[in-house]
Structure 1
Amino acid sequence: MNAILKPDLATLPPPAPIQQLHHYAYKARDAEETRQFYEDILGLPLYHIIQSDYVPSTGEYCPYTHFFFRLKDGSFIAFFDLGDDVKAEPSPNTPLWVNHIAFRVDTVQELENTKKRLEAHGIEVLGVTDHHIFHSIYFFDPNGIRLELSAQLADEEQMAKDSTVAHARLAEWTARKEQWRKERAEGKAVEPLKPQQNDRPEFVKG
């Protein structure tokens, strides 16, 4: 990973307004298996395909089929079938629940309907889970990607209110993490750092 430099911001153009997600891309074991899941079960239409023997960004030789499914807002989830019939391996140092993609639906009823639809196809689903500001269900696609469907409960006013303390809470965490790193380097810290504030007290045991 490249180190993040700190240039003189006054000499740089402003950041471009990022409007929305264009696409998220992942390795697929099999294109048709993936299409059946995303189009036939989840209802996302197959929208675009790119096929080539060479990777445009790097120039390396790696034949692929790159295919895109369109969401309602015009963004995409996309996949690469490299023709090797192998799906991507999960990260060995990260719990399976951490890395995931979350899609939004309009209502909790739609979550429940989708859960029934998935389970009817033999797909294991966790939830509906109450996250206070939204409800979610969780499941895995054929490529081992953990997916989340969420129905928002909090309105814009509540989310805007929460945003006013986000930087302060992150700064507090960052300061404590710096101290934890020092203690770990000195052999004093063994356990991973825990948040000082617990937003989900209902899960505290004892």
Structure 2
Amino acid sequence: MTATRRAILAGGTGLGVAALGAVGLSRFLGTSARDADAQAVLFDPDQPVLGNPQGDVTVAEFFDYQCPFCKRGHDDLMAEIAADGNVRLIMKDWPILGATSVLAAQMVLGADRYADAQAALMATPGRLTEDDLRRTLGAAGFDPQALLAAYGRDRARWDGLIGRNAQHAAGLGLQGTPAFIVGRTTHAGALDRAALRGAIATARRAA
């Protein structure tokens, strides 16, 4: 087992909704270092950014490509981000549901069209096999072997990102996917579109 895989597993296991509800991000971060720690969670320089990179609110989702609740809510998430137009979205890969989840994260991070590769896998149902990944990404216009080769060429960067995501999830006390940070508030479990819109509005008022 690699050090990265141990770090991923240390971040949490299983699928479900934690009992945290909506809580302040700073509650789980050391008071004296909370600004620096929040910067690390929300503004990791290696993290791909969706939505509006200059948005006035950041939404972060800890997700897994095999999490059915993540997939069920993904269309609403993307629709609300597009409709708002001023939200910076980051999808924090937290592959806790097995080796296929890790492989999916690697393939998508290796894509030059990250958003398209991610959308293709998020549109799949439930659990996946390696063949499912290859077939789905191939149908979306990607060469799966090329994706893995690209990931491998920048492995230190991407392995580091996935490992840090796991550390962030552990530091926040997350128990499963999905989990969101909207502004500086953590929401454990799924958010429907109305709840997400409300959370974004609350974050704007608090800014």
TM-score w.r.t. the length of structure 1 is 0.25
Q: Which structure dedicates a bigger proportion of its chain to strand?
A: 1
Would you tell me which structure has more helix in proportion to its own residues?
2
Choose 1 or 2 for highest CA Rg: 1
